[in-house]
Amino acid sequence: MPDDLNWAIGGEAGDGINSTGKIFAQALSRAGRQVFTSKDFASRIRGGYTAYKVRSSTERVESVVDRLDVLIALTQRTVEENMDELHEGSVIIYDGERTMMEDFEAPEGMIDLAVPLKSLAEDAGGAIMQNIVALGAACEVANFPIDNLDEALEKRFGDKGQSIIDNNQDAARLGEEYVQEEYDEEFSYDIETTDNDYVLLNGDEAIGMGAIAAGCRFYSGYPITPATDVMEYLKGRLERYGGHVMQTEDELSAINMALGAARAGARAMTATSGPGIDLMAETFGLVAQSETPLVICDVMRSGPSTGMPTKQEQGDLNMTLFGGHGEIPRFVVAPTTVSECFHKTIEAFNYAEKYQTPVYLVSDLALAVTEQTFAPEEFDMDAVEIDRGKLVGEDEIDTWLNDSDQFQPHFPAADGISPRTLPGTSGGAHMTTGLEHDELGRRTEEQEVRIEQVDKRNQKVETAKEEEEWDYREFGDPDADTLVLSWGSNEGAMREAIGFLDEADISVRFISVPYLFPRPDLTEEIEAADDAIVVECNATGQFADVIEHDTLTRLKRINKYNGVRFKADELAERITDELDTPQEVPT
Amino acid sequence: MSSDVRFTDFKSDKQPTWCPGCGDFGTMNGMMKALANTGNDPDNTFIVAGIGCSGKIGTYMHSYALHGVHGRALPVGIGVKSANPDLEVMVSGGDGDGYSIGAGHFVHAARRNMDMTYVVMDNRIYGLTKGQFSPTSREDFETSTSPDGPKQSPVNPLALALAADGTFIAQSFSSDAQRHEEIVQQAVEHDGFGFVNVYSPCVTFNDVDTYDYFRDTIVDVDDEDHDPTDRDAAREKITNDTEYQGVIYQDEDSVPYNERHGLDSNMADIPDGAPEDATDLVREFY
């Protein structure tokens, strides 16, 4: 009996697919099971196929797989879309009045359960609860005690009153009882529960929580998929800590407001996706030129232009590494898992203030929409350290004044990092500008000063290279001949792929790189491998390009740009393909 | 804030490179005086400047200041004020910065009503790029990029501000030093977004909207017994073709954004670790 349960609900946008999926994920999490979810959705409010998949296990799960055990199909299209993933013993739950199973060639041994979802929901108090009826039926199929749903339903409907909660709990039981009474099939699922405590959250929420933990107090942003959850998470919560979330008129305003708040001394952030990053590019240069600490989060989606707004892609690496006119010193940090979204956000704020630079925090849609379980200890608030860098208060300001008693915000210190003082500090008044400037922040075109200031700003990156650990995350067999490299959300699928490859007696060393600039030097690792393969969700291999450039070595590439993240089994197969048919390596 | 601050304390040791006779000299003097008169000092003042001739003001004044990118001065000012409401925030730019590239921010700043001041040096011309028409240029104003005039209506900034529910809408003339200073001072004192459009003549590239033109035509609303709290009267003044100076509209019941949203602390003050009860945030995800 498999402990791994792959469950999905699919229907049209507007059918409540997400909230139903989230309720089931929450119920599994509360029952001590590990959960990993993914969403397949379209950029429209109503209509269009949408699905929410939940994979769960008593072991840690890091990816979705091409396999479905239980499918709630609210529409015929849901069945069509998922037919490939169904197998012997899979169960489809559907409303026989809406979906005709006869139209499909089902895999042998697949069990289809027609349940009158709508009419049972009406019995419980309203057709709107048909998804909950289906959830109850799914609990029976999976042999998952239905009591586990109750708490999740309370959490979901808690603000709507007890009678709504009661109705939903009744609806779930009607679904369960219907399957018990009408079907005598043997279902092969008997999922275990444990006493473990888990928290369930997505990457955007983890970024938001990390921001609060790191002392972020000002957030300005303009709604955009898939970054909006960061703002929605922070709204209300940031205010609890004396901060503020400002929804702006556009992304130009968002980054400039955040810049203003940062000049006033707040830890500030904005989050957006590719189109917003394009709009922010000019001010990004100003942030660097004025040496203002700022975190700019890019939750990547498919581009260019409006692209596929609700689809996965890692296409903004070049933009975040190189975007903007002129030469802009910057940091680029990209979390590789949902929990790392929390930790890397905290780091990003420290780098920003310590080095007085903009920091791109690059996440992607797959991380943003994945709800994943973690032990709560993974978000250890006591371990959060805040480094505000060379912040100069009133008592020390005299040390940093020139002979004319002027504060020098761009003083060319040996490590490139100047003293910083905040407005309101007596004796510290100073200006700064996007123009090239002298140590006082005043415009200059003097050649020597220009060179001094450019070198000074670039020196900050050199100092950071020395002072910080720009390491990578490593999995698999460190001595394997095959080296796989990736960045961003691919880490989860690749970690599971290692297991699949192991079964085929293929051992790999996997390096997941969260620091994109500055980044680790991978020369030795690549030299030590027979095959080095770079995995990323884009068409041209932007990460492979920079690593090739760093190491002067050609690398193999596995790219995916159909808008869907890698799945573990798919990735294992593609790696095997690369090994069977090695591509020509130019010398 | 000390009472012995003089307006010259707001002067930096840099000599302006504006053309001799530029209206911006007078505009800046009035700003410095208004700040000093209202008890501010350079250490609690934040000036945000746009791009263009007017944008150089951050260099010529002494205070905390940022000279940003073109058209985005207002959002920067809003961010500064949000983070530390104790600061006196004054944003300044030109007609190109505020009504062309930054027009969107102007409208939203007016309706957002943050407690800050916005002084626009309106010379109806692009000076720094040497003489192209601006959003406030007349329809028939001949420039290098409008040989037969722009043939489009000039922006009426006061009307934009009123349409966006601006709570303080005023206009001044940089050459009438006394009135200009008074008007900017009222804008600083206003609880909310104090907006002053300043006629600040360009002596090099604009031979139409000159000192003489404004001296001859300008009408002080105070001479017409205008009641600035009367919105209908303000609308009439804003939409007739007279060049007015004075406070044209003021909402006396204005409650600024920072108060409506309870922004009353300095966001720079944070603990040296996560907030004490931050573990509650983790618990929410159970």
Q: Is residue A512 domain-shared with residue A537, that is, in the same domain? A: yes
- For the CA atoms of A386, A490, A545, A274, the dihedral, rounded to the nearest 10 degrees, stands at -70
Is there a domain that residue A369 lies in? yes
A97: domain CATH number is 3.40.920.10
Write b or e for each residue in B252-280: b if 16 or more Cβ atoms lie within 10 A of its Cβ, otherwise e. eebebbbbeeebebbbbebeebbbeebee
- SS3 assignment, position A137: helix
**A166 shares its domain with A40:** yes
Taking contacts as CB-CB distances below 8 angstroms, the residues of chain A near B69 are 256, 282-283, 285-286, 434
Same domain, A278 and A423: no
Radius of gyration of chain A (CA): 26
CATH for A495: 3.40.50.920
Instruction: Extract the residue ranges of chain B whose pLDDT is less than 50.
Output: 1
- Domain boundary pick from A357, A383, A409: A383
Query: Domain boundary at A383, A407, A432, which?
Result: A383
Superfamily of domain B7-283: Thiamin diphosphate (ThDP)-binding fold, Pyr/PP domains (3.40.50.970)
Alpha helices in B164-285 (DSSP H): 177-189, 211-217, 231-239, 257-260, 279-283
The reply to whether A587 falls in a domain is no
Q: Does residue A20 lie in a domain region?
A: yes
Contact yes or no for B75 and A257 at CB 8 A: yes
d(CA B168, CA B158): 10
- Which residues lie closer than 8 Å to A467 by C-beta, 6 or more apart? none
Identify whether residues A237 and A105 lie together within a single domain.
no
Predicted confidence at residue B208, as pLDDT, reads 97
Tell me if A557 is assigned to some domain.
Answer: yes
Question: Are the C-beta atoms of A72 and A9 separated by less than 8 Å?
Answer: yes
pLDDT of residue A171: 97
- In this structure, the answer to whether residues A498 and A478 fall within a common structural domain is yes
Q: Are residue A273 and residue A324 in the same domain, yes or no?
A: yes
Q: What is the pLDDT of residue A41?
A: 73
Name the residue among B14, B87, B279 with its Cβ closest to that of A423: B87
Q: Which of A262, A257, A301 is nearest to A280 (CA)?
A: A257
Inter-chain residue contact B67 with A432, CB threshold 8 Å: yes
State whether A221 and A323 are in the same domain.
yes
Q: With contact defined as beta carbons under 8 Å apart, do B137 and B146 qualify? A: yes
Q: What is residue B1's predicted lDDT score, i.e. its pLDDT?
A: 46
- Give residue-wise pLDDT tens across range B117-154: 999 999 999 999 999 999 999 999 999 999 999 999 99
**Residue type at position A257:** M
Q: Are residues A163 and A31 in the same domain?
A: yes
List all residues of chain B from 62 to 81 with a beta carbon under 8 Å from chain A: 62-69, 71-72, 75-81
Counting the structural domains of chain A, the total is 4
Q: Give the Cα separation of A86 and A198 in Å (integer).
A: 29
Best mutation target among A342, A371, A381, A385 (most B Cβ atoms within 10 Å) is: A381
Q: Do A282 and B69 touch (CB under 8 A)?
A: yes
Cis peptide bond N-terminal to B16, omega within 30: no
* Confidence (pLDDT) at A1: 38
Domain check: are A68 and A161 in the same one?
yes
Residues A361, A435 share a domain:
no
Portion 100-159 of B in contact with A at CB < 8 A: 104-105, 107-108
CA distance A424 to chain B (A): 5
Please report the pLDDT score of residue A43 as a whole number: 62
> What is the pLDDT at residue A586?
37
For A377, the domain range is 201-383
Instruction: Classify residue A238: in a domain, yes or no.
Output: yes
Q: Which residues of chain A have pLDDT under 70?
A: 1-2, 42-46, 99-100, 102-103, 580-587
Burial of A524 (0-12, 13-18, 19+ CB in 10 A): exposed
Residues in chain B within 8 Å Cβ distance of A237: 281
Whether residues A160 and A272 fall in one domain? no
CA distance A550 to chain B (A): 34
Q: Is residue A230 part of a domain?
A: yes
Q: Is A16 helix (H, G, I), strand (E, B) or coil?
A: coil
How do beta strands A531-536 and A556-559 pair? parallel
CATH number at residue A288: 3.40.50.970
Residues of chain B in contact with residue A35, where contact means CB-CB under 8 angstroms, are none
Q: Are residue A192 and residue A313 in the same domain, yes or no?
A: no
Report in angstroms the alpha-carbon separations of B262 from A240, A263, B34, B166: 11, 21, 27, 20
Is A551 within the bounds of a domain? Answer: yes
Residues in A touching B82 (Cβ below 8 Å): 218, 244, 246, 257, 260-261, 264, 266
Q: Using the 3D structure, point to which of A174, A196, A218 is the last residue of a domain.
A: A196
Domain positions in chain B are 7-283
